[in-house]
Amino acid sequence: MTSGSGTRSATEDSGAVGMRWIPGGRFKMGSDDFYENEKPVHTVSVDGFGSKLIQSRSTSSEGRRRGDPS
């Protein structure tokens, strides 16, 4: 977890297999142009977090053959 200063703990920096640090940040969320429930555009802050990511070496065309949308 992060402290209020945004620093990572020693555990998060240990390089555990499969773990990746996803940095936090601020971004604009919502839309003034589409659905009413997306209004208004507003700034959101997200803390950084550690996540176990699944790595895949498939190409986008392989994904389409499997039915994946991306």
Q: Where are the domains of the chain?
A: 1-54
Residue 2 in contact with residue 25, Cβ under 8 Å?
no
Q: For residue 50, give the 3-state DSSP assignment.
A: strand
pLDDT tens-digit map of 34-46? 899 999 999 999 9
DSSP state letters, 21-45? EE--EEEEE--SSS-GGGPSPEEEE
Q: Which pLDDT belongs to residue 31?
A: 94
Secondary element (H or E) of residue 63? helix 60-66
Q: Which tops the pLDDT comparison, 44 or 65?
A: 44
Q: What is the pTM of this model?
A: 0.42
From residue 15, alpha-carbon distances to 12, 55, 58 in Å are 7, 16, 25
DSSP 15: -
More reliable by pLDDT, 70 or 19: 19
Which one has a higher pLDDT value, 70 or 18?
18
